[in-house]
Chain A
Amino acid sequence: MINNQKVLLGAGLAALALTFAPVSIAAPGSWSSEPVRIVVTFPPGGTSDLVARLLAKHLDSDYGQKAVVDNRPGAAGTVAADYVSRQSADGTTLLLANNAPFTISPTRFKSIPYEPIEDFTHVAYIGASAPGLFVQPTLGINTVEEYIAYAKSKELAYGSSGVGSISHILGEAVDAKLGIQSIHVPYKGSSPAIQDFRAGVLDMFYDMVVQNKDMIADKEAIAIAIASPERNPQTPNVPTFREQGYDVVIENWVGLSAPAGMDAKTTETINDTVLAIFSSDEVKERLIELGITHSAMTSAEYTQFVADSISTWAPLIKSAGIVEK
């Protein structure tokens, strides 16, 4: 009898525990009767904006959660992040977060109007894409080793998509790791840099690898290495820095963050819904096309990820010499 009661009680407690366990509370679904605003740190048209629009579309079509994209570009993403940090944490305002406001700006700028961890509820990680090093085919360089040898004989100039951009930080990190020096030529975005590269003005440039897979296929540029931990399935012939013996990993990540103090239930619901959307085949395929590798994280893991990336990027930003005086 007693045993049975204990068993029953145990089962009951277990059931109760299960009910309160975060996994079982939340299921993918809508979380607000109001339309959700997804704030994007860039003007319409870029990769971030496309991810936000993809998410908004599927929130509505798959879960009936109305969502609109709100582009608030400016000051390296800090305008949008500052704006979101001051909104109500009821799940109706979300930020399509990325390196710029959370990983780079806190170290780079003298002051920013928000705290990257305390002022936000970091809800869900979406994925990352990786930049790489491209050189002129005429240089006859194919590997990192050959690149080092060449760059030591002649000072080369590389194009980036701007001071403080991922491609710039990668360029400086590679220089430091490989013990070489090259001239940084910043552009406004990657497409003018690639234009000048094609015109033969630049010896090399750093940019997202998957976005330039046509150039690689057409042999217009040689991709020496990609800065992701693993090769990207879209560009299987591009080796990583790591496998060539140089531990350089710099990725451009995107995630979803909300104002601080959002309740656990809403956070879990959003996390589950977002993960469900980004693991569906259709959406996954779109992400792969955009060069983004998706992986699943809980809200806590994502928060830790943001905190870690601030500290891993800080020395890179400092050594790139772009910290605001």
Chain B
Amino acid sequence: MEILANFAQGLSIVLQPENLMYCFIGVFLGTFIGVLPGIGSLAAIAMILPLSFYLDPTSALVMIAGVYYGAEYGGSIASILMNIPGTPAASITCIDGYPLAKKGRAGVALFSTAIASFGGGMIGMLVMAVLAPSLAQLALSFGPPDYFAVILLGLVAASAVSNGGALKGITMVVLGLMLGSIGIDLTTGDQRFTMGIPELRDGIHIVIVAMGLFGVSELIASIRDNKKGSATQSIDYNDFYPSKSEWKSLFSPILRGGAIGSFFGALPGTGQTIAAAIAYAVEKRISPQKKKFGTGVLPAVAVPEAANNSATQTAFIPTLTLGVPGSPPMALVIGALMIHGITPGPRLLTEAPDMFWGLIASFLIGNIMLLILNIPLIGIWVRLLQIPYKYMYPTIIVLICMGVYSLNNNVFDIWLTLIIGAIGYVMRLYKFEPAPLLIGFVLGPLMEEHLRRSMLLSRGDAMVFFERPISATLIAITVGILAFTAYKSISNYRRFKTSSSQLTK
């Protein structure tokens, strides 16, 4: 079993004290950020990104991954106790988690979500260990036209399945593409949209966009909400472990959630929120307890947690094997690796096997750490929710400013982050999701790069995209998704029209 040998090799790398430490820092920070309502894993990863530049790439990757899946563990705590999702993906957990807490079963709910997250994480890890190498093998034969087609598919998928609706999703992707075109044109060397500002010549740094959109704007939003910052439900530690029949009722939802989550995590451009929402919707149709969904049943909190956590692991599959982010935070991972001089892509597995298998093994170690952090040490996180935000959020703003300044040692970047944060807040008010924007921002320049490279190499013949089997297939899938989305929105519109015309009659 080659996979086992590789995994053992990865394990030996993660078990080095230094990597263990960064893994722990990652999952701890992730849980911390996940517990705090409003700040998601994107903001957390954006904040540690500048720090990761100074680490060994493997340690950096292990730490970033830890933040990413750790946040999904922590995210459910505020959902259950306060009915406020700690992360966007945990909003699904609110639906049944909070009713459970109101029934006095917060402890069982927290325990079940931790177990479900662990189960989902392990499923995601297995899927990644088995699938990623073969996908990378396939991707080795990818040329620039094929990459262009993959990225196009990712962009369309990201906008079509975004939570706020396809039109808003596409708008945000396009805005991201536009922001991404600022700076020097890779093919001609000309400046685009730099308005004579030298700091814009190299484009806007991804950390600035991410911190602005996800850090600053979320902080502004939470000031406006004026949240008090105290958990309204307490935990009864006597009622912490599920009963035998409840254990049984958790098993298959965790498997199903893990499987659905793995699929959507690996689909470029989607992510754990969509995975959790779909897993919940599916479970609601097939669960024996489906009638009670929404009133506070354990399978209904286990399913989205298993799904969102498995999605956080499989999101690394397209990220590392194709260089196409599986979810918005993965866009930051690509940025982090590129700063280390590592271009994620099919060669990563053969050129940096230690990093790849070390990361997979770190999923096991990290999830075990999280189990410990979230079951015996749950009290710490509950108490964290009682710290007033007036102390918490100014501290986070200072950290954001420090992180952004450290990118280029330039104050301009801090101002830019604040401006983007303000714009992000306005977008939020009108329910435009920032995540598709980030995907567009990262993928746009990549897509352009591969498009123009394909055209250069084909001597200007656009047929190259339809002649190659891989790119032709991917473009066909993309057209299919677009057609389906268009059909759906047209039929929705018709239904809306008929119902409204009936109303006027």
Q: Give me the interface of A with B, judged by CB distance under 8 Å.
A: 43-46, 70-76, 78-79, 82, 113, 155, 157, 162-164, 183-186, 188-189, 191-192, 195-196, 198-199, 201-202, 322, 324-325
Cβ A188 vs Cβ B186 within 8 A: yes
- Of A45, A46, A74, the contact of B201 (CB 8 Å cutoff): A74
Cβ A44 vs Cβ B343 within 8 A: no
Q: Give me the interface of B with A, judged by CB distance under 8 Å.
A: 53-54, 140-144, 184-191, 198-199, 201-202, 339-341, 343, 345, 347, 408-410, 449, 453, 456-457, 459
Within the complex, the shortest CB–CB distance from B464 to chain A, in Å, comes to 12
Q: Which residues of A contact B202 (CB under 8 A)?
A: 73-75
Cβ B199 vs Cβ A74 within 8 A: yes
Within the complex, the shortest CB–CB distance from A114 to chain B, in Å, comes to 12
- Of A155, A188, A201, A202, the contact of B449 (CB 8 Å cutoff): A188
User: What separation, in Å, do the CA atoms of A195 and B139 have in the docked complex?
Assistant: 13
Query: Are A79 and B408 also in contact (CB < 8 A) when A74-B202, A113-B198, A188-B449 are?
Result: yes
Cβ A43 vs Cβ B339 within 8 A: yes
Known A-B contacts: A72-B409, A74-B198, A199-B142. Give 17 more (CB < 8 A). Answer: A43-B53, A45-B341, A72-B410, A74-B201, A74-B410, A75-B199, A113-B198, A162-B186, A163-B189, A186-B189, A188-B449, A191-B341, A192-B343, A195-B343, A201-B144, A201-B457, A324-B189
Cβ A45 vs Cβ B143 within 8 A: no
Query: Are A78 and B408 also in contact (CB < 8 A) when A186-B187, A192-B343, A199-B140 are?
Result: no
- Of A45, A191, A196, the contact of B144 (CB 8 Å cutoff): A196
Cβ B53 vs Cβ A44 within 8 A: yes
Q: Which residues of A contact B189 (CB under 8 A)?
A: 162-164, 186, 322, 324
Q: Which residues of A contact B188 (CB under 8 A)?
A: 163
User: What separation, in Å, do the CA atoms of A312 and B144 have in the docked complex?
Assistant: 36
Q: Which residues of A contact B457 (CB under 8 A)?
A: 157, 183, 185, 201-202
Within the complex, the shortest CB–CB distance from A95 to chain B, in Å, comes to 14
Within the complex, the shortest CB–CB distance from A139 to chain B, in Å, comes to 16
Q: Which residues of B contact A199 (CB under 8 A)?
A: 140-143
Query: Are A74 and B408 also in contact (CB < 8 A) when A44-B54, A188-B449, A324-B191 are?
Result: yes
User: What separation, in Å, do the CA atoms of A78 and B144 have in the docked complex?
Assistant: 32
Q: Residue of A at shortest CB range from B194?
A: A75
Best-buried of A45, A74, A192, A325 by chain B (most CB within 10 Å): A74
Q: Which residues of A contact B53 (CB under 8 A)?
A: 43-44
Cβ A186 vs Cβ B409 within 8 A: no
Q: Which residues of B contact A324 (CB under 8 A)?
A: 189-191
User: What separation, in Å, do the CA atoms of A324 and B53 have in the docked complex?
Assistant: 32
Q: Which residues of B contact A73 (CB under 8 A)?
A: 202, 408
Cβ B409 vs Cβ A185 within 8 A: no
Q: Which residues of B contact A44 (CB under 8 A)?
A: 53-54
User: What separation, in Å, do the CA atoms of A159 and B199 have in the docked complex?
Assistant: 27
Cβ A79 vs Cβ B190 within 8 A: no
- Of B185, B198, B459, the contact of A75 (CB 8 Å cutoff): B198
Q: Residue of A at shortest CB range from B338?
A: A188
Q: Which residues of B contact A192 (CB under 8 A)?
A: 343
Query: Are A78 and B456 also in contact (CB < 8 A) when A196-B144, A324-B191 are?
Result: no
Q: Which residues of A contact B185 (CB under 8 A)?
A: 163
Q: Residue of A at shortest CB range from B456?
A: A185
Cβ A191 vs Cβ B187 within 8 A: no
Best-buried of B54, B140, B185, B202 by chain A (most CB within 10 Å): B202
Within the complex, the shortest CB–CB distance from B206 to chain A, in Å, comes to 13
A sample of 8 cross-chain residue pairs with beta-carbon separation below 8 angstroms, ordered by A number, consists of: A46-B341, A72-B409, A73-B408, A163-B185, A186-B186, A195-B347, A198-B347, A324-B191
Q: Residue of B at shortest CB range from A164?
A: B189
User: What separation, in Å, do the CA atoms of A26 and B343 have in the docked complex?
Assistant: 46
User: What separation, in Å, do the CA atoms of A201 and B143 have in the docked complex?
Assistant: 7
Q: Which residues of A contact B187 (CB under 8 A)?
A: 163, 186
Cβ A195 vs Cβ B345 within 8 A: yes
Q: Which residues of B contact A322 (CB under 8 A)?
A: 189
Q: Which residues of A contact B144 (CB under 8 A)?
A: 196, 201
User: What separation, in Å, do the CA atoms of A189 and B189 have in the docked complex?
Assistant: 14
Q: Which residues of B contact A157 (CB under 8 A)?
A: 456-457
Shortest 8 CB-CB distances between A and B: which pairs?
A163-B189, A75-B201, A75-B198, A185-B456, A322-B189, A164-B189, A192-B343, A201-B143
Q: Which residues of A contact B184 (CB under 8 A)?
A: 163
Cβ B459 vs Cβ A183 within 8 A: yes
User: What separation, in Å, do the CA atoms of A70 and B199 have in the docked complex?
Assistant: 17
Query: Are A185 and B198 also in contact (CB < 8 A) when A72-B408, A191-B341, A324-B190 are?
Result: no
Within the complex, the shortest CB–CB distance from A232 to chain B, in Å, comes to 23
Q: Residue of A at shortest CB range from B141?
A: A199
Cβ A45 vs Cβ B343 within 8 A: no
Q: Which residues of A contact B341 (CB under 8 A)?
A: 45-46, 189, 191
Q: Which residues of B contact A183 (CB under 8 A)?
A: 456-457, 459
User: What separation, in Å, do the CA atoms of A196 and B449 have in the docked complex?
Assistant: 13
User: What separation, in Å, do the CA atoms of A113 and B199 have in the docked complex?
Assistant: 13
Within the complex, the shortest CB–CB distance from B180 to chain A, in Å, comes to 13
User: What separation, in Å, do the CA atoms of A82 and B408 have in the docked complex?
Assistant: 14
Q: Which residues of A contact B340 (CB under 8 A)?
A: 45
Query: Are A163 and B186 also in contact (CB < 8 A) when A45-B340, A201-B143 are?
Result: yes
Within the complex, the shortest CB–CB distance from A248 to chain B, in Å, comes to 21
Q: Which residues of B contact A45 (CB under 8 A)?
A: 339-341
Cβ A70 vs Cβ B409 within 8 A: yes
User: What separation, in Å, do the CA atoms of A79 and B198 have in the docked complex?
Assistant: 8
Within the complex, the shortest CB–CB distance from A105 to chain B, in Å, comes to 11
Q: Residue of A at shortest CB range from B187?
A: A186
Within the complex, the shortest CB–CB distance from A161 to chain B, in Å, comes to 11
Q: Which residues of B contact A75 (CB under 8 A)?
A: 198-199, 201-202
Cβ A71 vs Cβ B343 within 8 A: no
User: What separation, in Å, do the CA atoms of A74 and B201 have in the docked complex?
Assistant: 8
Q: Which residues of B contact A76 (CB under 8 A)?
A: 201
Best-buried of A70, A82, A163 by chain B (most CB within 10 Å): A163
Q: Which residues of B contact A202 (CB under 8 A)?
A: 457
Q: Residue of A at shortest CB range from B351?
A: A195
User: What separation, in Å, do the CA atoms of A48 and B140 have in the docked complex?
Assistant: 31
User: What separation, in Å, do the CA atoms of A47 and B459 have in the docked complex?
Assistant: 34
Within the complex, the shortest CB–CB distance from B273 to chain A, in Å, comes to 31
User: What separation, in Å, do the CA atoms of A199 and B351 have in the docked complex?
Assistant: 14
Q: Which residues of B contact A198 (CB under 8 A)?
A: 347
Q: Which residues of B contact A113 (CB under 8 A)?
A: 198
Q: Which residues of B contact A325 (CB under 8 A)?
A: 190
User: What separation, in Å, do the CA atoms of A44 and B189 have in the docked complex?
Assistant: 23
Q: Residue of A at shortest CB range from B406?
A: A71
User: What separation, in Å, do the CA atoms of A304 and B340 have in the docked complex?
Assistant: 36
Cβ B456 vs Cβ A191 within 8 A: no
User: What separation, in Å, do the CA atoms of A163 and B184 have in the docked complex?
Assistant: 9
User: What separation, in Å, do the CA atoms of A207 and B343 have in the docked complex?
Assistant: 17
Within the complex, the shortest CB–CB distance from B400 to chain A, in Å, comes to 20
Within the complex, the shortest CB–CB distance from B504 to chain A, in Å, comes to 57
User: What separation, in Å, do the CA atoms of A325 and B188 have in the docked complex?
Assistant: 12
Cβ B409 vs Cβ A71 within 8 A: yes
Q: Residue of A at shortest CB range from B185?
A: A163
